[in-house]
Amino acid sequence: MIAFVFVACLTLTGDTEVVPVGTAKIAVEVSGHKVNLFTYKPANYKNGPMLMVFHGVDRNAEDYRDHARGLGDRHAAIVVAPEFDKERFPAKKYQHGGLQRDVKTNTVTPREEWTWSLVPQIALEIRRREGRNDMPYYLIGHSAGGQFVGRLAGFVESDASRILVANPSSYLFPSHKMEFPYGFGGLPGELGDEQRLRRYLAQPLTIYLGTKDNERDDDLDTSPEADEQGNTRLERGRKVFEAAQRLAKDKGWEFRWTLVEAEDVGHDHRKMFDAPACDAALFGVQKILEMEPEKR
């Protein structure tokens, strides 16, 4: 018997209260910014979590939503992919979160103007629509999106259950020897102090790497600062995890990072999402073992 599945494709205004089943495009306003959210609610959704997915440099949020649908189905989760267009959110405001107003004068923008600060507001909006103020949510960023959520973890208070940093071109290294955006060096006041580093290492953060993401392609940051972190995305991810783990051990600090690798996967967000390792990277090995075999 052939089963037919109807998937809704809707464009909704901010007045609509519930995220519809299937795929949709929802326009919302958060902190004075109009943001398009590409959403997917699986047919089996029932009080599941939210997976907020962040696109790469192509700003193709709709593709990222579509390619994360498998994750949504496996975990009965709502997928939300915000779109940060290049015109309003260039690299300084996307990959670097909008923290610095001027690099030369080392001035920073007010916290409420950071692009990172929109993320908890988006989560609140989806929670409001679903009538679930305690709805858990997870952040998943790949490539440029990995830079965005990785640096967010260093500076923004969020109640995300886990922050997954997948295959970014560079990292926020837990070091004052590297200048921001590559490290905490040069940042004024509490943005760059030791307490900030300590809080960063206590974040529920997963470095998620493809073992074949080891080429110096055209999109790789090849600046001297990035190359100091390693020659490839794979090497850089392993090095930042080792540095963070070593610092936490030396200081006696809480360390909540994990390192997960997807075997034989390169710089491909769809394959990274589809890999079984992605489930473990988000939810931990024990929960994956508890899943029904056909969903693993």
The one-letter code for the residue type at 158 is S
Cross-strand bridge partners of residue 207? 165, 259
Residue 153 sits at the vertex; the CA angle it makes with 245 and 223, to the nearest 5 degrees, is: 80
Question: Does residue 2 form part of some domain?
Answer: no
Question: Does residue 4 form part of some domain?
Answer: no
Number of domains comprising the chain: 1
In this model, does residue 181 exceed pLDDT 70? Answer: yes
The model's pTM: 0.91
pLDDT tens for each residue of 148-176: 999 999 999 889 999 999 999 999 999 99
Check: CB of residue 115 under 8 Å from CB of residue 147: no
pLDDT tens for each residue of 118-151: 999 999 999 999 999 999 999 999 999 999 999 9
Q: What percent of the chain has pLDDT over 90?
A: 86
Question: Does residue 59 form part of some domain?
Answer: yes
What is the predicted pLDDT for the residue at 26? 96
Q: What percent of the chain has pLDDT over 70?
A: 89
What is the predicted pLDDT for the residue at 285? 61
* Boundaries of domain holding 215: 9-291
Query: Residue 238 is part of a domain; what is its CATH number?
Result: 3.40.50.1820
Question: Does residue 296 form part of some domain?
Answer: no
Question: Does residue 100 form part of some domain?
Answer: yes
What is the predicted pLDDT for the residue at 295? 52
Identify the DSSP state of 174: S
What is the rounded CA–CA span in Å between residue 293 and residue 296? 5
More confident residue, 4 or 257: 257
